Chains A and B, each alone.
Chain A
């Protein structure tokens, strides 16, 4: 089933067009990696899918009951969060905020959901820890658990491994793969092209060159060849 259908998207801000004629489809259970140069509009695309901003033109169709509140989002960390006094449990529970509605407090179901997702990501024992005292990898797990509280269907990850050391990075990738195997659609922005290609099913390359297709086709495409080559050099 096609969960997300983007047609002829034109993205950018008032006077600046970042990218045009963007059409792609995300199927249920897909693992899509969005790659491209800095400033190509990757984050803008993600913000547009999340309905945080409107496309300049074109349409996005959401199927499979993917209302705005049913997409889990892992944003890049902000400065504010670095020294934020919040317990891990409070942060994860805030992922259930779409269940609050006009209610004032979280339901029992929401609390259970938060605990379950912490269990799922192996951070149950950190529940009472302060978010700011955690390592980068632990913080990402917490934010991932929060995103899972918001959705069972689709995760949007904005550079989930940036700033993590290689060991933690590969653990994070395995975790994401596990979630994908459980049936959650994953859309991920990444700079780490080599790993993206290793784990993803489809690749969307935007910027100077456009590519959308399977990972296998990407390896043989002109955009893919050039980019993978560069990535290879970067990583020595």
Chain B
């Protein structure tokens, strides 16, 4: 089976998948820590459904590069959701449920009415759960993913201290003059970018897993924000690599394989955390 994997490495698309997979896993884990701590996990879930709807529209319209549409739509929704979440706390989660379910239904309807291929259910299934086989990306998508991931990582490192401040205590941060609204806006935008990127890898229904699991795993073990962030990134990258490799070796769907390795890591971390006390 190892031969299968080594042989597959000679194909460029496998190498692309590994590079993009690792980068996406890294970004989603970094932001995942903030998302989980800010109690925004559900926003990630909602946004992925919105991205699915946008992707359906892009497919029907016949855009060759679907990210051109999904990215801006998801970013706008992320900002809107964060906004409503802040201003009307009770309505926040209902608004998200509404938008996400609506987008899901709308997307599926569009894909069924205007089928772009003979295999509609296959298309729907792969956008919801990721490619059934190894992920195939065009060169353009690969470059775009790399550029966006690098930007996300740089932004995260640059704003690390401020992200911590605004996540731990927004009132205090605002009171001492930190521009919390701007930071929240940046966080929302980055989340949207990550979700659109990660959707290629694991499909829109499984995106949240990629964002949430590594952060939760790291939190079982570590007790400072910095170590949780680093650990989350490491776990996520390892799981993504392992997941992709396993999916090639056993010919399983790449998205769910990655998620399963993330869940396994979570269980291991929970046990370690229990033992450590």
Residues of A participating in the B interface, judged by any CB pair closer than 8 Å: 50-52, 67-69, 71, 73, 75, 78-81, 84-87, 89-91, 94-95, 97-98, 100, 104-106, 128-130, 133, 146-147, 150, 156
Interface contact A97-B174, CB-CB below 8 Å: no
- A86 with B161: in contact, given A67-B177, A81-B169 (CB under 8 Å)? no
Query: Which of A85, A105, A130, A150 has most B Cβ within 10 Å?
Result: A85
Q: Which B residues, 168 to 190, have Cβ-Cβ distances below 8 Å to chain A?
A: 168-169, 171-178
Contacting residues, chain A, for B162 (C-beta < 8 A)? 97, 100
The distance in angstroms between the C-alpha atoms of A220 and B157, with both chains bound, is: 58
The distance in angstroms between the C-alpha atoms of A90 and B173, with both chains bound, is: 14
B119 proximal to A (CB < 8 A): no
Total contacts A to B, CB within 8 angstroms? 93
The distance in angstroms between the C-alpha atoms of A150 and B178, with both chains bound, is: 12
Contacting residues, chain B, for A104 (C-beta < 8 A)? 157-161
B69 proximal to A (CB < 8 A): no
Contacting residues, chain A, for B177 (C-beta < 8 A)? 67-69, 98
Given contact pairs A94-B164, A97-B173, A100-B162, a sample of 20 additional A-B residue pairs in the complex whose CB atoms are under 8 Å apart: A50-B174, A50-B175, A52-B171, A67-B177, A68-B176, A68-B177, A73-B171, A73-B172, A73-B175, A78-B169, A80-B167, A86-B224, A87-B224, A87-B226, A90-B164, A94-B172, A104-B159, A105-B161, A130-B224, A147-B172
Contacting residues, chain A, for B158 (C-beta < 8 A)? 104
Contacting residues, chain B, for A146 (C-beta < 8 A)? 172
B274 proximal to A (CB < 8 A): no
Interface contact A94-B37, CB-CB below 8 Å: no
Interface contact A150-B176, CB-CB below 8 Å: yes
For this complex, 18 residue pairs linking A to B, each with C-beta atoms less than 8 Å apart, are A50-B175, A68-B175, A68-B176, A73-B175, A75-B169, A75-B175, A85-B224, A86-B224, A90-B225, A94-B164, A94-B165, A98-B176, A104-B157, A104-B158, A104-B160, A106-B161, A129-B223, A156-B175
Q: Chain B interface residue count: which class?
A: 20 to 34
The distance in angstroms between the C-alpha atoms of A79 and B159, with both chains bound, is: 24
Residue of B nearest to A93 (CB): B161
Residues of B participating in the A interface, judged by any CB pair closer than 8 Å: 37-39, 157-162, 164-165, 167-169, 171-178, 219, 222-226, 228
Contacting residues, chain B, for A100 (C-beta < 8 A)? 161-162
Residue of B nearest to A147 (CB): B172
Interface contact A80-B39, CB-CB below 8 Å: yes
Residue of B nearest to A133 (CB): B223
The distance in angstroms between the C-alpha atoms of A97 and B176, with both chains bound, is: 8
Contacting residues, chain B, for A85 (C-beta < 8 A)? 37, 219, 222-225, 228
Contacting residues, chain A, for B225 (C-beta < 8 A)? 84-87, 90
Contacting residues, chain B, for A80 (C-beta < 8 A)? 37-39, 167-169
Interface contact B172-A130, CB-CB below 8 Å: no
The distance in angstroms between the C-alpha atoms of A128 and B227, with both chains bound, is: 12
Interface contact B164-A86, CB-CB below 8 Å: yes
Contacting residues, chain B, for A79 (C-beta < 8 A)? 39
- A87 with B172: in contact, given A94-B164, A98-B178, A105-B161 (CB under 8 Å)? no
The distance in angstroms between the C-alpha atoms of A68 and B176, with both chains bound, is: 6
Contacting residues, chain B, for A90 (C-beta < 8 A)? 164, 224-226
Nearest CB in chain B: distance from A70 CB, A: 8
Contacting residues, chain A, for B38 (C-beta < 8 A)? 80
Interface contact A52-B161, CB-CB below 8 Å: no
Interface contact A130-B161, CB-CB below 8 Å: no
Interface contact B224-A69, CB-CB below 8 Å: no
Contacting residues, chain A, for B175 (C-beta < 8 A)? 50-52, 68, 71, 73, 75, 156
